[in-house]
């Protein structure tokens, strides 16, 4: 059975008429995890990362036709839904027997609406995909009904059936290390569109989920507060394998890398003992940023630290449910410099629902005084499925039918215009 997995380009990054594209900055790690799991289960797998290859939608369609798969899976975010719709509809017309499966955040939060609005999509996988997708393929291959597959929604005789949720994978060590040879190594570490990679680069995770409840974060909604970790030995095994494959820069894309400081101390001490010619990049919460921890990380060759600061206004931070203070952020930056970090990135959001003009200006002034190397500033965006998005619906500020696919920049709402 042949399976093709597609990572569609975010719609704003592609203009077919002008033939302008933006290359992807990091590999689709979630699809690599899924592909490796399926490959180990005996399926013939191919992956296409549209953004990385600068493919037009027409190129993706040609690629799928050439592969002639039995099932095509799409990793769906609100940014990429438009291209996913166009591609999947076209290939379904080409081969009506082809099974179209949508997965990832948007398919998890809005499976029913996807199936109601895109009748060419057969199935949505909700939540983590490794076990669910494998069970789904077993049923499809044997032409059995799908009622016993937890974690899916599907079309059945003109009606939509939503099976019960699948439990999260508790022991992450049972999931195979992603086989990065499945896709070309063409990725660069880009920060704000700038390539900062010096050597062979990839990403990895040491955990999944996050126990915090920032109201703007899709991870919070997706993981439902479930934080699970890989064992230190399992993480180290992957790092050493990557080193043997020539990788020299690793970006940890955990939802919350430094949550358990004891674990990070242990990991860093073991990395140091390996004496690897590698550098590491990660994010960190400001309330888990002691000098001692950061110094240990620096000695293990962690070179770039990304810190979620968001705002200088305590009122806005409380609105986001960040559970931090501006003073914590300043101390975290000070500690990182003491520990020897030479490159610090701070992330910020402007344009909260009732954020005032003065609060926004004060945040910009706050940024200018911080000892960081790169301020990453975005407008607050309410992603579908997040608590922030749901609050806007409940308060009748937005129409769910209008925004469930795309989310909304709060700055575009009349209620959010700064005073």
Average pLDDT, the chain: 92
Task: Please tell me the total number of residues recorded for the chain in this structure.
Answer: 419
Is 324:286 a contact under the CB 8 Å cutoff? yes
- Same domain (yes/no): 305, 378: yes
Q: How confident is the model at residue 222 (pLDDT cuts 50, 70, 90)?
A: very high
Q: Is residue 176 part of a domain?
A: no
In tens, the pLDDT along 253-308 reads: 999 999 999 999 999 999 999 999 999 999 999 999 999 999 999 999 999 999 99
Please say if the pLDDT value at position 35 is more than 60: yes
pLDDT of residue 144: 95
Q: How far apart are CA 100 and CA 102, in angstroms?
A: 7
- Same domain (yes/no): 142, 225: no
**Structural domain of 154:** 2-162
CATH code for the domain of 122: 3.40.50.280
Domain boundary residue, one of 162, 196, 226: 162
Q: Is residue 180 part of a domain?
A: no
As a whole number, mean pLDDT of residues 2-17 equals 77
- Same domain (yes/no): 157, 192: no
- Same domain (yes/no): 137, 35: yes
The percent of residues above 90 in pLDDT, for the chain, comes to 85
- Same domain (yes/no): 229, 366: yes
- Same domain (yes/no): 146, 212: no
Please say if the pLDDT value at position 419 is more than 70: no
pLDDT of residue 24: 53
Nearest to 60 by CA among 83, 29, 40, 30: 83
Q: What is the pTM of this model?
A: 0.93
- Same domain (yes/no): 221, 333: yes
- Same domain (yes/no): 22, 121: yes
Q: Is residue 169 part of a domain?
A: no
pLDDT of residue 131: 98
In tens, the pLDDT along 297-309 reads: 999 999 999 999 9
Please say if the pLDDT value at position 178 is more than 70: yes
As a whole number, mean pLDDT of residues 211-235 equals 94
As a whole number, mean pLDDT of residues 340-350 equals 95
Q: Is residue 132 part of a domain?
A: yes
In tens, the pLDDT along 12-33 reads: 554 444 444 445 578 999 999 9
CATH code for the domain of 249: 3.20.20.70
Q: Is residue 7 part of a domain?
A: yes
In whole angstroms, how far apart are CA 97 and each of 47, 92, 200? Answer: 20, 8, 41
- Same domain (yes/no): 212, 354: yes
Please say if the pLDDT value at position 228 is more than 90: yes
Q: Is residue 175 part of a domain?
A: no
Q: Is residue 182 part of a domain?
A: no
- Same domain (yes/no): 309, 408: yes
pLDDT of residue 21: 45
Total structural domains within the chain: 2
Q: How confident is the model at residue 193 (pLDDT cuts 50, 70, 90)?
A: low
Domain boundary residue, one of 112, 145, 162: 162
- Same domain (yes/no): 388, 255: yes
Q: How far apart are CA 330 and CA 311, in angstroms?
A: 12
The percent of residues above 70 in pLDDT, for the chain, comes to 94
pLDDT of residue 26: 85
As a whole number, mean pLDDT of residues 115-120 equals 96
Q: Is residue 107 part of a domain?
A: yes
- Same domain (yes/no): 141, 202: no
pLDDT of residue 413: 85
pLDDT of residue 40: 97
């Amino acid at each position: 059975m042949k399976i093709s997995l597609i990572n569609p380009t975010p719609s704003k990054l592609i203009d077919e008429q002008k033939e302008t594209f933006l290359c992807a900055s990091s590999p689709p790690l979630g699809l690599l995890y899924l592909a490796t799991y399926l490959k180990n289960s005996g399926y013939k797998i191919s992956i296409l990362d549209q953004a990385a290859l600068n493919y037009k939608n027409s190129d993706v369609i040609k690629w799928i036709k050439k592969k002639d798969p039995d099932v095509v899976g799409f990793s769906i975010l609100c940014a990429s839904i438009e291209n996913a719709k166009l591609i999947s509809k076209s290939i379904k017309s080409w081969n009506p027997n082809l099974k179209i499966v949508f997965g990832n955040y948007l398919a998890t939060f809005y499976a029913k609406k996807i199936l109601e609005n895109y009748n060419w999509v057969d199935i949505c996988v909700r939540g983590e995909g490794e076990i669910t997708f494998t069970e789904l393929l077993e049923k499809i291959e044997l032409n059995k009904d799908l009622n016993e597959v937890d974690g899916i929604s599907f079309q059945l005789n003109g009606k939509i059936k939503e099976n019960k949720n699948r439990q999260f994978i508790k022991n992450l060590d049972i999931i195979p290390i992603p086989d990065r040879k499945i896709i070309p190594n063409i990725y660069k570490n880009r920060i704000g569109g700038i390539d900062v990679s010096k050597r062979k680069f990839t990403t990895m995770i040491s955990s999944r989920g996050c126990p915090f409840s920032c109201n703007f974060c899709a991870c919070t909604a997706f993981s439902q507060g479930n934080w699970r970790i890989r064992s230190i030995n399992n993480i180290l095994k992957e790092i050493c394998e990557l080193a043997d494959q020539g990788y020299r820069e690793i970006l940890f894309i955990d939802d919350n890398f430094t949550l358990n400081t004891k674990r990070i101390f242990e990991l860093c001490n073991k990395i140091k003992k390996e004496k690897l010619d590698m550098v590491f990049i990660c994010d960190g919460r400001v309330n888990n940023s002691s000098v001692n921890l950061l110094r240990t990380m620096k000695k293990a060759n962690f070179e770039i630290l990304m810190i979620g600061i968001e705002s200088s206004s305590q009122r806005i931070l409380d609105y986001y449910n960040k559970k931090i203070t501006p003073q914590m952020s300043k101390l975290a930056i000070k500690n990182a410099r003491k520990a020897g970090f030479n490159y610090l990135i701070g992330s910020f959001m402007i344009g909260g629902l009732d954020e005032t003009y003065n609060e926004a200006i004060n945040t910009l002034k706050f940024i200018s005084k911080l000892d960081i190397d790169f301020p990453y500033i975005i407008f607050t965006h309410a992603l579908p499925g997040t608590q922030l998005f749901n609050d806007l619906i409940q308060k009748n500020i937005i129409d769910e039918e209008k925004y469930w696919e795309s989310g909304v920049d709060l700055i575009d709402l009349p209620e959010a215009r700064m005073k």
